[in-house]
Amino acid sequence: MAKVTDMTTGSPTRLLVGFALPMLLGNMFQQLYSMVDTIVVGRGVGVEALASVGAAGWLDWLVLGIIIGLTQGFAILISQRFGAEDFHGLRKAVTMSALLSLVTIIVFTITALSIARPLLELLDTPAQTIDGAHLYISIIYMGIPIIVTYNLLAAVLRALGNSKTPLIAMVIASIINIVLDVLFVMGFGWGIAGAAIATVTAQLFSCLFCLFSVVRIPVLKLKKEDWKIDGATCKELLRLGLPVALQNAVISGGGLVVQYIVNGFGYIFVAGVTAAHKLCGLMEQAGSSFASAMGTFAGQNLGAKKYDRIREGIKKALLISVVIAFSIAAIVIGFGRYIVRFFISDEPEIVAQVVDAAYPYLVIMSLCLFVLYALFVYRTTLQGMGDTMIPMISGIVELLMRIGMVFLLTSFVGQYGVYFAEVGAWIGAAVLLMIAYYWRIGKICPKQKTNIIA
């Protein structure tokens, strides 16, 4: 039976670490098979193929981010009803989430496949890479039904305090993906298409594993009446899910603008930024995992009306995240150049150019990683408390900062403007989220004033 965790009692530090570590490992495995795609393509096919995968990266995240946002929003209501021990409402939230996800699958699959090529052309994708990028992203988009189903199932499990099952699913998927990557790309010679097929196939196995676990949870033993459409529940799910999805879509919009600028510097620079992005994705996982833990923690404790625990939990999550961020920065600065070289195999001068493009990006990102981690923690805490509007607005701030800075800075400092624009976007969003959190927690849980008598 899949385990669930009540996060309304016990040590916040122990609960957050216990929840976050399996999720961190799962996220790292997820990033691992994304990196394996990049490494196998970069070393097995070449720099142009690597640039093709990179050119499709933000299109992939555009759809994936919206899907993750929707399911994260759905999970907020699920965690709150679980914390309140409203098990009938919990089952209704799960079934309505499933029905809304089915609609999402139909709409997104048709739309994404239709706009893929026009978007790549709009982004001024280099001629050497556009066909490969379109092939890669089209196969990924065909797997949208699997992506939506997996993210919904994983979100349900995490909302109930179970982060270990998604971890096991990711481990299985990573191993399958690595084996299939090597087999399809290097063995069968399928090139970029082989990498995409391997990814979708691996996701299918992780999806089935999570499904097997969810149907075995006693509180989720669904009855026929649970599937009756409940307009109020659907409305609440969309109220929570749409702002998170829109937030991710807005962030992706900024990323697409950055990709347009990156494409203008040529495919060598695109390849370098692609390699760096994959490593940055791995670097982000600790902050993302503790943030997700804090989101579930906040949601359950809000449902249980234990507001002081939310205040205590975020302090612990921030402290742990910042320590990890600076530890990662030290490793990246020391070994970043050597790590990037694992991604590519080409003429020595081309490899050197790719590394020269990637390493400064890694250094700047790693030194400012603590800002991103704080952004994650404040954002998911607010979402867990039922506030999805401020996080959505923070996504708009992030978009405006990223676009404004990338155009301004690249005019003065060239490609370095791409690196600093990302950091500027983080800072703008983090400041807004921090202010919003302290205002909101102060409103629902004012600090008690203590009179000190001399």
pLDDT for 271-301, tens place per residue? Answer: 788 778 778 877 888 888 888 888 888 888 8
At 219 the pLDDT is 84
As averages over each run of 10 residues, the pLDDT of the chain (454 residues) reads 69 85 73 70 75 79 86 88 87 94 94 92 85 92 94 89 82 86 88 90 92 88 90 92 84 79 82 79 82 86 86 89 90 86 72 84 91 93 86 86 88 83 90 93 66 32
How many distinct structural domains can be found in the chain? 1
Structure tokens at 33: 């098979």
Residue 10 is assigned to a structural domain of this protein: no
Domain holding 390, by residue range, is: 21-444
Cα separation, 76 vs 78, whole angstroms: 5
At 33 the pLDDT is 63
Residue 238 is assigned to a structural domain of this protein: yes
- C-alpha to C-alpha distances, 384 to 9, 64, 144, 296, 378, nearest whole angstrom: 17, 20, 26, 6, 10
At 447 the pLDDT is 62
Residue 16 is assigned to a structural domain of this protein: no
190 contact partners, CB below 8 Å, separation of at least 6 = 184, 197
How many Cβ atoms from other residues are within 10 Å of residue 114's Cβ? 11
Residue 161 is assigned to a structural domain of this protein: yes
Residue 95 is assigned to a structural domain of this protein: yes
Cα separation, 152 vs 97, whole angstroms: 8
Write down the pTM of the prediction.
Answer: 0.69
At 96 the pLDDT is 95
Residue 405 is assigned to a structural domain of this protein: yes
Cα separation, 177 vs 200, whole angstroms: 9
Structure tokens at 176: 């399958």
Cα separation, 247 vs 67, whole angstroms: 11
Residue 454 is assigned to a structural domain of this protein: no
Residue 424 is assigned to a structural domain of this protein: yes
Cα separation, 139 vs 199, whole angstroms: 9
What is the CA angle 179-352-60, rounded to 5? Answer: 45
At 435 the pLDDT is 95
pLDDT for 34-54, tens place per residue? Answer: 677 777 887 777 777 777 877
At 16 the pLDDT is 86
**Burial (0-12, 13-18, 19+ Cβ within 10 Å), 121:** exposed
pLDDT for 355-378, tens place per residue? Answer: 888 888 889 989 999 999 999 999
